[in-house]
Amino acid sequence: MLSGKRFRLNEETIGVETWGRKRLATLVPAGSVITVASGPNPEDTRMVDVLWDGRKISMFAVDIENRGEQVANTSA
């Protein structure tokens, strides 16, 4: 389960952002830190929702696992 884990992306990675009824491909730059907000879910293990730069986007779980490295969660 990836939910709640943080990752630093080692490569630029594509995500999907939703604006109303439109979906927009978004490139998340290498070096960005993302937090998996939810997923993958049992019905579709491919996509997860992540928080990045104050935005919620969807990404492929396999991209996060292959292009990112897990970083420690920070407590505020």
Owning domain of residue 31: 6-71
The pLDDT score that the predictor gives to residue 42 is 73
The pLDDT score that the predictor gives to residue 75 is 58
Whole-prediction pTM value? 0.85
The pLDDT score that the predictor gives to residue 28 is 97
The answer to the question of residue 76 being in a domain is: no
**Digits of tens for pLDDT over the chain (76 positions)?**
788 899 999 999 999 998 899 999 999 999 999 999 987 777 777 899 999 999 999 999 999 999 999 998 775 5
The answer to the question of residue 1 being in a domain is: no
Name the domain count of the chain. 1
**Cβ(52)–Cβ(34) below 8 Å:** yes
CATH number for position 30: 2.30.30
Other beta carbons within 10 angstroms of residue 24's beta carbon come to 10
